[in-house]
Amino acid sequence: MSAGKHAALILAAGFSTRMRMGFKPLLPIPFADGRRSALESLAHVYAEAGIQRIFVVGGRCQEADIADEAKRLGCIYVQNPHAERGMFSSVRAGLEALGALSGGCFVHPVDIPLVRLCTLRALLAETETHPGDILIPAFKDAEGHPPLLPSMHISAILAWTGENGLRGALRSLPCRQTPVADKTILLDMDTDDDYAEVCRRACRRHILEPEEAEELLRCLAVGARGMAHAKAVALVAKHFALACNAVGRTLDPLLAEAGGLLHDMCKGEAQHELAAGTALRALGLPAMARLVEEHRDCALADDAPVTEKELIYLADKYLYGDRLVNLQERFGQKLDLFSGDADACAAIRGRFARAEAMELRLGRETGALPFELACEALEKSQDT
């Protein structure tokens, strides 16, 4: 996957007529690591994906501000003198400015500002096996932005004079859906209410929702047994978080659930928990990576708070496949399996002791027996 041969067009020539809060490309969005405009957010994520040629297409609305911001961000500014003709006029202006291009070009409206790095990398990876197809990201079959246009089709798109703009131009060209675990490809901000929703979700850009985590497992072709185990761990971890919150803690049940779903995403690889962490970091999801990297073995200092990571760890220990087991049964199986290997048995007993310590700690935190909480979580899921 060579990102350097690709380019990106960020379309910022609209008039923001339905937005009372201000001009969409420059509206501030509160991310977890600071406030950035929609335009700056997209420039950053494309740069992180390795895209070196990023074009920003502006029109007459606040043109000087957009041009200055594009220059500050290291992007190439392109003027669309006919922005009143609609978005396809901006697409055309941007594509005409590209010059020679050996790869493809992302086309990204600036009002869809939360698209994740994992989506861009999924599209780039797909170009390796389907280099002649226009790639359209899709979350659970719902198509979103940005499409990735191979250079070989750009002349045909520029020649299009029919209806429905870019969508119409693509109908006669080879298009392929690329499944992604990213609902933000569908989240635009046309109105003030949309902008408020974008701001609400921006601080969680690097955290997958449970629905997205489950979709990532499907993208990875995780089998039925693996999916059943992941869902069971997720249910128990979420229930642990709710039990902690019932006695005054402020854990994130949805984060515990999403992490529980992903903890075994690299099962079958050597040190699969570390492999999962590495994979999630490569997708731009470091918060998710921290949840899964220690689920095989985990210890917690007495003065350290319980976090979602420890809840996922203990939930995993209670589940053999999707069947609930206590710690004695779980580790007893391992001791029987390695009964002839003294070193392996010593390591297993060490992990057993740390799991028991975590069980006791969670029991003190919640005032309930963790194993009973796990039983409760699975019984509730069966009732629904």
Same domain for 293 and 328, yes or no, is yes
- Other CB atoms within 10 Å distance of the CB of residue 286: 12
Spatial separation of the C-alpha atoms in residues 183 and 211, rounded to whole Å:
9
Same domain for 14 and 119, yes or no, is yes
- Select from 306, 221, 222, 312 the least CA-distant residue to 260: 312
- Last residue of one domain, picked from the residues 153, 179, 202: 202
- Last residue of one domain, picked from the residues 178, 202, 226: 202
pLDDT higher than threshold 90 for residue 101: no
Same domain for 46 and 192, yes or no, is yes
Same domain for 69 and 118, yes or no, is yes
Spatial separation of the C-alpha atoms in residues 223 and 110, rounded to whole Å:
37
CATH number at residue 312: 1.10.3210
- Other CB atoms within 10 Å distance of the CB of residue 161: 7
Same domain for 86 and 153, yes or no, is yes
Same domain for 222 and 345, yes or no, is yes
CATH number at residue 50: 3.90.550.10
Same domain for 26 and 87, yes or no, is yes
- Residues 105-114, mean pLDDT to the nearest whole number: 97
Helices marked H in the chain: 38-48, 63-72, 87-97, 117-129, 154-158, 165-170, 192-202, 210-219, 224-245, 253-262, 272-282, 286-292, 308-317, 327-337, 342-366, 370-383
Same domain for 194 and 227, yes or no, is no
Q: Which pLDDT value is given to residue 60?
A: 82
Same domain for 198 and 276, yes or no, is no
Domain count across the chain = 2
Per-residue model confidence as pLDDT tens digits over 116-127? 999 999 999 999
Per-residue model confidence as pLDDT tens digits over 138-153? 999 999 999 999 999 9
Q: Which pLDDT value is given to residue 16?
A: 64
Q: 203 vs 3, which has greater pLDDT?
A: 203
- Other CB atoms within 10 Å distance of the CB of residue 61: 18
- Last residue of one domain, picked from the residues 150, 173, 202: 202
Spatial separation of the C-alpha atoms in residues 170 and 173, rounded to whole Å:
5
Same domain for 134 and 272, yes or no, is no
Per-residue model confidence as pLDDT tens digits over 282-313? 999 999 999 999 898 999 999 999 999 999 99
Average pLDDT, the chain: 94
Same domain for 115 and 246, yes or no, is no
Same domain for 67 and 185, yes or no, is yes
Per-residue model confidence as pLDDT tens digits over 166-186? 999 999 999 999 999 999 999
- Select from 198, 114, 185 the least CA-distant residue to 148: 185
Identify the domain containing residue 245 by its residue range: 210-383
